[in-house]
Amino acid sequence: MRVTSILWPIWLTVSLTKAQDILARELHVSDAVEAACAELGESHADLVLLPNTAEYDKEVINVWDKRSNLLPGCIFRPETDTQVATALRIFHANNAQFAVRGGGHLPYPGANSISDGILVVLSGLNKIKVDTKKNLVEVGPGNRWLSVYSALAPHGLYAIGGRLSTIGVAGSSLLGGVNWFLNKYGFTMDTIVSYDVVLGNGTQVVADKRTNSELFWALKGSALNYGVVTKFVIKTYKIPRVTSTMQIFQQAAVPAFIKATCDLVLSEDGSVGAGAVININYNVTTGTATPQVFGLQETTKSPPSRFANYTAIPQVVTRVHNVTTPIDRHAGLAAPKPDVPVRLCVSFGHHTIKPDAKRLTEIYNAWIDAINDVADVPGMRPTFILNLVPRSAATVSKKNGIGNTFGLDNKQPYIWWQLSTSWARPEDDLRVTTWSQSFLESIHAENKALGLATELLYGGDAADYQNPLLTYPKENQERLRHTRDQYDPDFVFTRLNWGGFKLGY
**pLDDT for residue 65:** 79
Strand duo 48-49 + 74-76: pairing: antiparallel
> pLDDT digit string (tens) for 114-123?
999 999 999 9
Cβ(235)–Cβ(179) below 8 Å: no
In sign, the C-alpha dihedral spanning 302, 307, 313, 316 is negative
What average pLDDT is seen over the chain? Answer: 92
- pLDDT at 338 > cutoff 80: no
Q: Cα 295 to the chain's mean position, in Å?
A: 20
pLDDT tier, 166 (very low <50, low <70, confident <90, very high otherwise) = confident
Q: How far apart are CA 12 and CA 4, in angstroms?
A: 8
In the chain, % helix, strand, coil (3-state, to 5) comes to: 35, 25, 40
Residue 308: which of 366, 269, 241, 259 has the closest Cα?
259
Q: Judge whether 397 and 404 are in contact, CB under 8 Å.
A: yes
CA of 325: how far to CAs of 148, 215, 240, 243, in Å?
14, 35, 6, 8
Q: According to the model, what pLDDT value does residue 471 have?
A: 98
Quick one: which H or E segment has residue 228? Answer: strand 227-235
How many Å apart are CA 334 and CA 203, to the nearest integer? 36
Give the C-alpha distances (Å, rounded to integers) separating 297 from 260, 269, 273. 16, 14, 6
**What is the structure's pLDDT at 246?**
98
CB atoms within 10 A of CB 43: 13
Cβ–Cβ under 8 Å, residues 151 and 136: no
Q: Which residues pair with 137 in a beta bridge?
A: 130, 234
pLDDT of residue 344: 85
Q: What integer pLDDT is reported at residue 170 of this predicted model?
A: 96
Tell me the pairing of strands 242-249 and 227-235: unpaired
Residue 165: pLDDT band by 50, 70, 90 thresholds?
confident
**Using CA atoms, how far apart are residues 255 and 108, in angstroms rounded to an integer?**
32
Q: What is the pLDDT of residues 82-111, one digit of tens each?
A: 999 999 999 999 999 999 999 887 767 888
Angstrom distance (rounded) from CA 316 to CA 336: 27
- Checking if the pLDDT of 336 tops 90, the result is no
The whole-number average pLDDT for the span 477-495 is 98
Angle at 371 between CA 369 and CA 374, to 5 degrees: 140
CA–CA distance, 120 with 60 (Å, rounded to integer): 11
pLDDT, average across residues 201-229: 98
With CA atoms as reference, report the closest residue to 497 among 43, 29, 59, 95.
95
Instruction: Supply φ then ψ for residue 335, to 5 degrees.
Output: -80, -175
Instruction: Tell me the CA distances in angstroms from 267 to 169, 183, 278, 280, 504, one per residue in order.
Output: 30, 11, 17, 22, 38
Alpha helices in 64-178 (DSSP H): 81-94, 145-152, 169-175
What separation, in Å, do the N-terminal and C-terminal C-alpha atoms of the chain show?
A: 27
Nearest to 307 by CA among 284, 85, 299: 299
Contacts of 314 (CB under 8 A, 6+ apart): 253
What per-residue confidence (pLDDT) applies to 343? Answer: 66
Say whether pLDDT at 22 is over 90: no
* Calpha distance 102→338 (Å, rounded): 11
Contact 51, 11 (CB under 8 A): yes
- Going by DSSP bridges, is the β-strand pair 316-324/157-158 parallel, antiparallel, or unpaired? unpaired
Q: Tell me how far apart the alpha carbons of residues 459 and 467 are, in angstroms, rounded to a whole number.
A: 7
Residue 426 burial (CB count, 10 A): 13
The CB density around residue 438, as the number of other CB atoms within 10 Å, is 12
